[in-house]
Amino acid sequence: MSVSSRDALRTAFLYGLLSVLWLQVTDHLLNSYFDDSAQLAQWQLINGYVFAFFSAVLIFFARARLCGFLGMSPGLKRQRQDQERLRQAAVVFDCTREGVLVSNSCGVIVHVNRALVEITGYTAEEVLGHRPNMFKSGRHGPAFYQAMFKSIDESGHWHGEIWNRRKSGEIYPQWQTVRSITDNKGQVTHYVAVFSDISAIKNSQTELARLVHHDPLTDLPNRLLFTDRTEQVLASSQRHQTGCALLMIDLDHFKIINDSLGHNIGDQLLRAVADRLQRIFGKGFTVARLGGDEFAVLVDNCPQVTQAAAFAQQVLEVMKGAFEIDKHQLFISASVGISVFPSDALNAEQLLRNADSALFKAKSTGREGYALYTEELTAHAQYRIEVASDLRRALEQQELRVYYQPVHDLPTSRLIGVEALVRWEHPLRGLLSPGEFIPIAERTGLIAEIDAWVLEQACWQMVQWRAAGVELSFVAVNISSRLFTRPELYTLVSTVLADTGLAPALLELEVTESAVMDNSKVALEQMHRLRALGLRLAIDDFGTGFSSLLRLKQLPVQKLKIDQGFVAGLPADNDDVAIVRAVIALGQSMGLQVHAEGIEQVEQAQFLLDLNCNLGQGYWFGRPMPAKDLDWQRAPVIRA
């Protein structure tokens, strides 16, 4: 027991003993001094009052000493309570995860906690004695801080989001509360700022917003965000009286890739398509994935439908390139539907629906093309109408021309045949290639008439060459799928052969693989009838369709023509090499000639020759040209 404890107990015992002695002594003296009971009672009463007073004094001093011993003095108690509160506050101040900064009335930092050091990257020594503006990010202007200080001056506090800078230079968001501390006179003595780093919350909010509005596979805007942006663009276009266009894009036969190679390859292809679309469309465009293999492009400030059609054509062209996916070289085409504002729709929902209708039209007319929602009212439709009208006139006015491209025997390099190709000598537009009018001719039904004209011209030309002593083994003429399915083809060919006097063995008819395979029963009957005339038959663009080997062996054909798309990658592209090697082996095993198109380099010709390919055709041998310009003596040397 401490000295102070023993002193307090000793004092309390002494005060109690004195009280007892006082009572005993005074009682004895009064009994011995007074005989009269009345006087004795009176003095005993007085003595009782004196004893009570004396006892009260003793109790007061004893209680004071005892309370001092037990620490129960009110002042001391308050002091200890204040010390305990300060100790607890210090623990909380240093352990809280929020950063705390205390500055004096002049704004100089006098105290910081551990969390501030961890959040800002500054040590306490680097912060103390400086002002809080050392954390400023530069992201807020003077007006922001003026409003903050005004709130603190008027209400004594401010809270809100603020961006500050760490020691590393990183700018980050805080949620901060600033409060002023005043003394008893109401004068500000200190300022306390408590803040927390809300970077994680901000990142979560950003990620959540991204997931809500973006496609998780391609990171493109999804249908929700695309619809919202479309509404914004339409509102802007309406205010400024400008137009905009929406292109709906769908990949052709994408399901085949998913089914044959798996969804993982399909997903990688979708990401590659998204990247390719983003590369060709820049500012002023919104590229989105609406779902599955369907994409959309919003073209802002597009007043003319011809511009939208040009963008659609750009999409079709960029899709023609090979996609290198996980050691696979994939080729895929697309169909595009176009809807424009304000001629086709007045709101975003209508624009999307009409573009989807146009897309359906594009896919139903053969895929790998584009369609306009209101073709009859567009410049493109007008152009097609004009071309169709001009084509009819061209047939009447003899504006069409037949050009001939040489075909060489690869082992000997000798020119042994030609392919007849149509051109159009337009009076205003000049010489037009087949790609500019053949699709329109096919849709309008004029293609059959053009084929018949080319057939007749080629046969007459072959007769003239033979009469002039030119030794050619054949002249090849393309027959469209529309004419090939007609029963009158047999009559047409037999009539032309009879009228021109050309030997049937010198005529070769080329039919595309798709035309043969789409209706194999009709095709088989047609080809047997034509073969009975004594002419030659070839399957053009072999490898681009979906051939059945069982059907192929039943066809009375003498030649397979390898599509130029497979020749272009030779000899470097392994996939093209494998396909070409397989087609040549297949043709040889079936006793067919194999004819390669699109040869533009000597290395391609050399490679094909090494694989025992029979015939070659392409720019390296000669471009299509009028009959009078053919050089019969030209024989390019393949082997060095």
The DSSP element (H or E) to which 107 belongs, if any, is: none
Residue type, 95: C
Contact status, residue 271 vs residue 217, Cβ threshold 8 Å: yes
Catalogue the E-assigned strands of 269-325. 285-291, 294-299, 323-325
Residue type at 464 in one-letter notation: Q
pLDDT (average), residues 100-104 = 89
Q: Which residues pair with 406 in a beta bridge?
A: 418
Task: Please measure the distance between the N-terminal and C-terminal CA atoms of the chain and give it in whole angstroms.
Answer: 119
Span of 34-48, 201-215, 446-460 with lowest mean pLDDT: 34-48
User: Within its chain, how far is the Cα of 32 from the centroid?
Assistant: 118
As to burial, measured by CB atoms within 10 angstroms (0-12 exposed, 13-18 middle, 19+ buried), residue 5 is exposed
Fold type of domain 391-629: TIM Barrel (3.20.20)
Instruction: Considering only residues 382 and 338, tell me which one the structure prediction assigns the higher pLDDT.
Output: 338
Contact 72, 7 (CB under 8 A): no
Report the SS3 class of residue 247. Answer: strand
Q: Which residues pair with 324 in a beta bridge?
A: 329
CATH number of 216-377: 3.30.70.270
Domain locations along the chain:
3-72, 90-202, 216-377, 391-629
To which H or E segment does residue 177 belong?
Answer: strand 171-182
Which parts of 365-446 fold into alpha helices (H)?
379-397, 438-444
Question: What confidence category does residue 300 fall into, taking pLDDT thresholds of 50, 70 and 90?
Answer: confident
Question: Which of 19-23, 130-134, 537-541, 571-575 has the weakest average pLDDT?
Answer: 19-23
Residue 111, strand partner residues: 102
Give yes or no for residue 613 having a pLDDT over 50: yes
Q: What is the mean pLDDT of residues 548-572?
A: 83
Specify the 3-state DSSP secondary structure of 79: helix
pLDDT attached to residue 347: 85
Q: Is the pLDDT of residue 474 over 80?
A: yes
pLDDT at 378: 46
Question: Contact 319/309 with Cβ under 8 angstroms?
Answer: no
| Side-by-side strand order, sheet with 171-182 | 109-112, 99-104, 188-197, 171-182, 157-165
pLDDT for res 350: 84
Report the DSSP pairing between strands 507-512 and 536-542. Answer: parallel
Please list the residues that pair with 512 across neighbouring strands: 540
Number of H helices, E strands in the chain: 23, 21
Residue 571, preceding peptide bond in cis (omega within 30° of 0): yes
Between 148-152, 311-315, 520-524, the lowest mean confidence (pLDDT) is in: 520-524
The SS3 assignment for 47 reads helix
The structure tokens 């010198």 sit at 506
Lowest-confidence pick of 197-201, 244-248, 332-336, 570-574 = 197-201
Of the candidates 523, 525, 534, 608, the residue with the CA atom closest to the CA atom of residue 564 = 608
Amino acid type, 357: S
pLDDT at 234 over 60: yes
Range with the lowest mean pLDDT among 36-45, 199-208, 230-239, 536-545? Answer: 36-45
Comparing 196 with 259, the larger pLDDT belongs to 196
Degrees to nearest 5, angle at CA 218 with 212 and 223: 45
- Please check the confidence at residue 51 and state whether its pLDDT lies above 70: no
Residues 399 and 407 sit within 8 Å (Cβ to Cβ): no
- The per-residue pLDDT for range 418-428, each reduced to its tens digit, is 999 999 998 88
Three-state DSSP state, 214: strand
For residues 116-139, average pLDDT: 90
**Given the structure tokens 């033979």, which residue do they identify?**
466
In this predicted structure, which of 90-104, 159-173, 315-329, 487-501 has the lowest mean pLDDT?
90-104
- pLDDT averaged over every residue in the chain: 82
pLDDT of residue 461: 94
d(CA 392, CA 159): 79
Measured distance CA(215)–CA(553) in Å, rounded: 47
> Which fold would CATH assign to domain 90-202?
Beta-Lactamase (3.30.450)
Taking a C-beta distance cutoff of 8 angstroms, is the pair 215, 273 a contact?
A: no
Q: What is the pTM of this model?
A: 0.46
Longest dimension (CA), the chain: 186
Residue 163: Cβ within 10 Å count: 16
Read off the amino acid at residue 552: L
Looking at per-residue confidence, does 442 or 168 come out higher? 168
| Omega cis (within 30) before 342 | yes
- Arithmetic mean of pLDDT, 623-637: 82
**Residue 258 contacts by C-beta under 8 Å, 6 or more apart in sequence?**
265, 266
Res. 377 pLDDT band, cuts 50 70 90: very low
Length of the chain: 640
Q: Which residue has the tokens 């509005």?
A: 213
User: Residue 60 above 80 pLDDT?
Assistant: no
pLDDT of 17: 62
Asked if pLDDT for residue 136 goes beyond 80, the answer is yes
Residue 167: both structure tokens together: 């020691």
- Of 58 and 608, which is predicted with more confidence? 608
* 632, 418 Cβ separation under 8 angstroms: no
Q: What is the mean pLDDT of residues 171-181?
A: 91
Contacts of 177 (CB under 8 A, 6+ apart): 157, 158, 159, 193, 194, 195
Q: CB neighbours of 193 closer than 8 A, spacing ≥ 6?
A: 100, 101, 102, 103, 132, 176, 177, 178
Torsion, CA 125, CA 127, CA 130, CA 136, rounded to 10: 160
List 291's β-bridge partners, or say none.
294
Q: Write out the DSSP string of 517-532.
A: HHTHHHHHHHHHHHHT
Q: Which of 206-215, 281-290, 355-364, 466-475 has the lowest mean pLDDT?
A: 206-215
Q: Strand, helix or coil at 181?
A: strand
With tokens 């551990």, the residue in question is 114
Most confident option among 20-24, 93-97, 282-286: 282-286
**Strand pairing report for 414-426 and 400-409:** antiparallel
The per-residue pLDDT for range 72-90, each reduced to its tens digit, is 556 556 666 656 665 655 5
pLDDT, residue 415, reads 92
Sign of dihedral through CA atoms 91, 96, 101, 104? negative
Helix (H) or strand (E) holding 205, with range, is helix 199-213
